[in-house]
Structure 1
Amino acid sequence: MSAGGVTRWSRRFVAASALFLVAWQVAALAGANGHVRVTLAVHGFVLHAVFGKAYSLVPSYFDRSLALERAPAVHFPFTAVGAVGLAAAPFAGVPDALGPVGAVLWAAGVAVFVAALAWTLRDDPTGRETGTSDANADRRPVDRFANAFVPVVLAYLLAGSYATLSLHLRVPGFESLGFARTAHLLAAGTAALLVFAVGFRLFPRFLVASPPRSLVAVVLPAGAVGPAVLSWGLYRGAWFRAGAVLEATAVVGFAAAYAALFVRSERRRVGFYAVLAGVASGVLGVLVGLHFAFSGTGFELVETHFRLNVLGFLGLTIVGATYQFYPPTVGTFPGASDRTALASVALAGVGLLAELAGSLVASQTAILAGRASALVGACLFAGLVLGVFAQR
């Protein structure tokens, strides 16, 4: 398979991610089981976007080409079908074997992904080679530092996927983690840490600016350690507080770094506004998490905390990067415009704020209105992405 083949499969992962996003918003609005919502959000939406772009970006960031070019084609059906199976398992009337089968398929796809990247990076796992051009030589220290955290991302992915298996197959080792801890391993450990590591390379180039190096030095270590401490210490007193502080430090630091890039840049594109909204949502999300950890109260906001972080921070960051990689304006179909893209971002962002407000004042109407707004935003995003892919 050529590099063009890898690119095509990368798009398929991104397309699947967009469809999972819509399915998640439908499930949230319908009040589906929490396991269904989290699976569609994390295993479906977030991680399929991660897989797709990691196949195309990570090797180049280590000055490599993907060593196993057929890996995306082998991987895709395993995790896509596996995520559907995991999401459908809690519904009444489905076969009992669906959850375990979904977990096995998911783990098989992850094994292909990790093997492909590990083999690609086998002679330079810490990323001393960065592929950074001489014109960007001043960026090499940050690029090299960010690369060193990619193996940590893969370790979290393996741990979270093994934990997913343990939830369905009772395999030894991770039974005590539970569903919430597993979600933290995958969302915070895999996805958020990759956003930090790749983001410190990608967004400075998009915005033609440089992030404060002091923040880079803080965000990446905190983002690497925080999810492990948080997953282990969830609801366990001092460990819970320590993990929450570490993760909040990483998210707030990344938000500050991106805000600095945005202010320093003269470029203004719809994707950049989406990421700005995403990091702002992430700050709100970790503030809610800190409230849980230090007050021991407010757990009725757990769903809001989850959506601020996964739909807001991770989701809008993914949306922003996607609009930058695949500009809506290249499409010739009705609605293929930056205005539609901006509407999708605004609907998701306003929806999250409405949900937060509704949760704080116990207004189910506001919560449902917020989720409906997010659903419309997700549909616009998916329509733009799928439309652009269909015409390219």
Structure 2
Amino acid sequence: MTGGGRSRWSRRFVALSAAFLVVWQLGAFVGVPRRAEVTLALFGFVFHVVFGMAYLLVPSYFGTVLATDRAPAAHLAFSVSGTVLLAVAASGGVAAVGGIPPYVELVGAGLWCAGVIVFLAALLWSIRDNLLGRQTGTTAERAEHEWVDRYANRFVTVSFAYLGVGSYELLARASALPGLTDGYAPRITHLLAAGFVALLVFALGVRLAPRFLGVPAPKSLTAVVLPAGSIGPGLVAVGLSDGPAFVAGAVASATAFVGFAAVYLVVYLRSDKRRVGSGIVLLGVLCGVLGVSVGLSFALGPLFGLPSLSAVGIAAHRELNLLGFFGLTVVGFVVQFFPPTAGRFRGANERTVRLSAGALAGGLGLSVVGRFVGNPAVVTTGDGVAVVGAVGYWYLLSRLLVEIGARRTG
């Protein structure tokens, strides 16, 4: 597959991700059911950008190229249609009027899994001669990155395993297939979000951040982050929402999130190449620390006689991770790959990027605070501010990607 072909499909996945971010935030603002909101956030916004960037980065990070130019196209069709159907099926408000046949969720899950099969087959076939990641594609000029690059590669295939298991569980939940778990939706969400996305962000992030900021990632911290991030999600999914496995998984996940934040903070503070995107990533990883801290309180609280899961705490945990960690981290890395300042359109500047990201972060903060103080007006205001940020990000990114496509075909 040519470099231009890989870049073109990555741009399409990223552009659709930005559109899903707008739809997700509009849905949160008008009050769609929680399951529909999580579906739009995770399957629509987060997964599409992760898939797109994985097609671009994973083969090169394993010292090879994507083996086929057909997989991304088929995958995109499956994943978009599957996400839309899963979101419709999760929309209790629509289902209440009898408008959704019972097979919609099954079809959506089947399409989603078909896309995952294409994705995993394409990437695993591409790296089949180097599954342990000994070849890293690291140039001689960056020899100081080699150890971290090789170590991080080992955990990419672990994240792929989580994607496969989580997607199978999604299909089993909607069908007569035997599940590995009881089909409890939060278990599946943890397998997919923490097991696949977060672990892949950690594994690719310890390579990406040093490239953007020009400072090697600390080896000792990286050596802790990735193993903890690989075992935590599985234990949480199995043990949710009590018991030794849940506690151990929560501790391991918290260790991974805090460790990754420490890795990024060390690299960020030592760098003289800080840009607006790197600052947004820093804000995202700090939100991840807050989100996992709330989750850790669910596991450790009962050990000290404190209340366990609460609706407010669950909502804060969800929002800090989905919009905070995943959302801001994704936006930060994307605007470094596709800097709006490279565009020639109105608003193509760092100030607009800061305003958009600031609106997302500010809206998140208002929403979380509003939930804790029990003020729905503040929550609604926060959701509205986040919509503005999402639209701003979508505008900047979509305009730039259109220009890039026109330049390369002109």
In 1, Cα distance between equivalents of 2:84 and 2:389:
22
Matching residue's letter, 1:325: F
- Are 2:77 and 1:77 aligned? yes
**How far is 1:173 from its partner?**
2.1
Report what 1:251 is aligned to.
Answer: 257
- Are 2:239 and 1:233 aligned? yes
Matching residue's letter, 2:164: L
Give the stretch that moved more between structures: 134-143 or 330-339.
Answer: 330-339
Q: Is the contact between residue 148 and residue 219 of structure 2 (CA under 8 Å) also seen in structure 1?
A: yes
Percent identity over the alignment?
50
Matching residue's letter, 2:173: L
Report what 1:388 is aligned to.
Answer: 400
Report what 1:121 is aligned to.
Answer: 127
Q: 2:68 aligns to what SS in structure 1?
A: coil
In 2, Cα distance between equivalents of 1:127 and 1:177:
33
Q: Is the contact between residue 292 and residue 299 of structure 1 (CA under 8 Å) also seen in structure 2?
A: no
- Are 2:378 and 1:366 aligned? yes
In 2, Cα distance between equivalents of 1:316 and 1:186:
18
In 2, Cα distance between equivalents of 1:27 and 1:170:
31
> Aligned to 1:286, which of 292, 295, 298?
292
Q: Is the contact between residue 172 and residue 183 of structure 2 (CA under 8 Å) also seen in structure 1?
A: no
**How far is 1:46 from its partner?**
0.6
In 1, Cα distance between equivalents of 2:238 and 2:262:
27
Deviations 1:222-256 (CA, angstroms, capped at 9, x unpaired): 00000000111111222211111111110011011
**How far is 1:368 from its partner?**
1.2
**How far is 1:136 from its partner?**
0.7
Aligned residues between the structures: 392
Report what 1:185 is aligned to.
Answer: 191
Gapped regions of structure 1 (runs ≥ 5): none
Structure 1 residues 1-392: aligned runs within 5 Å: 1-90=1-90, 91-92=94-95, 93-295=99-301, 296-392=308-404
Q: Is the contact between residue 200 and residue 216 of structure 1 (CA under 8 Å) also seen in structure 2?
A: yes
Report what 2:304 is aligned to.
Answer: none
In 1, Cα distance between equivalents of 2:41 and 2:250:
21
In 2, Cα distance between equivalents of 1:301 and 1:86:
25
Matching residue's letter, 1:322: V
Aligned Cα root-mean-square deviation (Å) = 1.1
Deviations 1:294-318 (CA, angstroms, capped at 9, x unpaired): 2214343212211101111111111
Matching residue's letter, 1:134: A
Q: 1:141 aligns to what SS in structure 2?
A: helix
In 1, Cα distance between equivalents of 2:150 and 2:324:
28
Q: Is the contact between residue 148 and residue 217 of structure 2 (CA under 8 Å) also seen in structure 1?
A: no
Deviations 1:116-154 (CA, angstroms, capped at 9, x unpaired): 011011111010000100111111110000000011011
Q: Is the contact between residue 82 and residue 110 of structure 2 (CA under 8 Å) also seen in structure 1?
A: yes
In 2, Cα distance between equivalents of 1:153 and 1:239:
20
Matching residue's letter, 2:297: H
Does the C-alpha gap of structure 1 residues 158 and 297 become closer, same or farther in structure 2, counting only changes over 3 Å? closer
Q: Is the contact between residue 364 and residue 386 of structure 2 (CA under 8 Å) also seen in structure 1?
A: yes
Q: Is the contact between residue 170 and residue 183 of structure 2 (CA under 8 Å) also seen in structure 1?
A: no
In 1, Cα distance between equivalents of 2:31 and 2:313:
15
In 2, Cα distance between equivalents of 1:253 and 1:122:
30
Does the C-alpha gap of structure 1 residues 170 and 303 become closer, same or farther in structure 2, counting only changes over 3 Å? farther
Matching residue's letter, 2:143: A
Q: 1:68 aligns to what SS in structure 2?
A: coil
In 2, Cα distance between equivalents of 1:373 and 1:181:
30
Matching residue's letter, 1:33: P
In 2, Cα distance between equivalents of 1:354 and 1:283:
18
Q: Is the contact between residue 36 and residue 87 of structure 1 (CA under 8 Å) also seen in structure 2?
A: yes
**How far is 1:6 from its partner?**
1.7
Gapped regions of structure 2 (runs ≥ 5): 302-307, 405-410
Matching residue's letter, 1:284: L
**How far is 1:374 from its partner?**
1.2
Report the TM-score when normalising by structure 2: 0.94
Matching residue's letter, 2:53: K
Q: Is the contact between residue 217 and residue 263 of structure 2 (CA under 8 Å) also seen in structure 1?
A: yes
Matching residue's letter, 2:254: A
Q: 1:148 aligns to what SS in structure 2?
A: helix
Deviations 1:265-322 (CA, angstroms, capped at 9, x unpaired): 0112110111011011001101111111122143432122111011111111110111
Q: Is the contact between residue 156 and residue 186 of structure 1 (CA under 8 Å) also seen in structure 2?
A: yes
**How far is 1:358 from its partner?**
1.2
In 1, Cα distance between equivalents of 2:197 and 2:83:
16
**How far is 1:69 from its partner?**
2.1
In 1, Cα distance between equivalents of 2:176 and 2:271:
51
In 1, Cα distance between equivalents of 2:209 and 2:35:
33
Q: 1:123 aligns to what SS in structure 2?
A: helix
Q: Which runs of 4+ in 1 moved over 3 A?
A: none
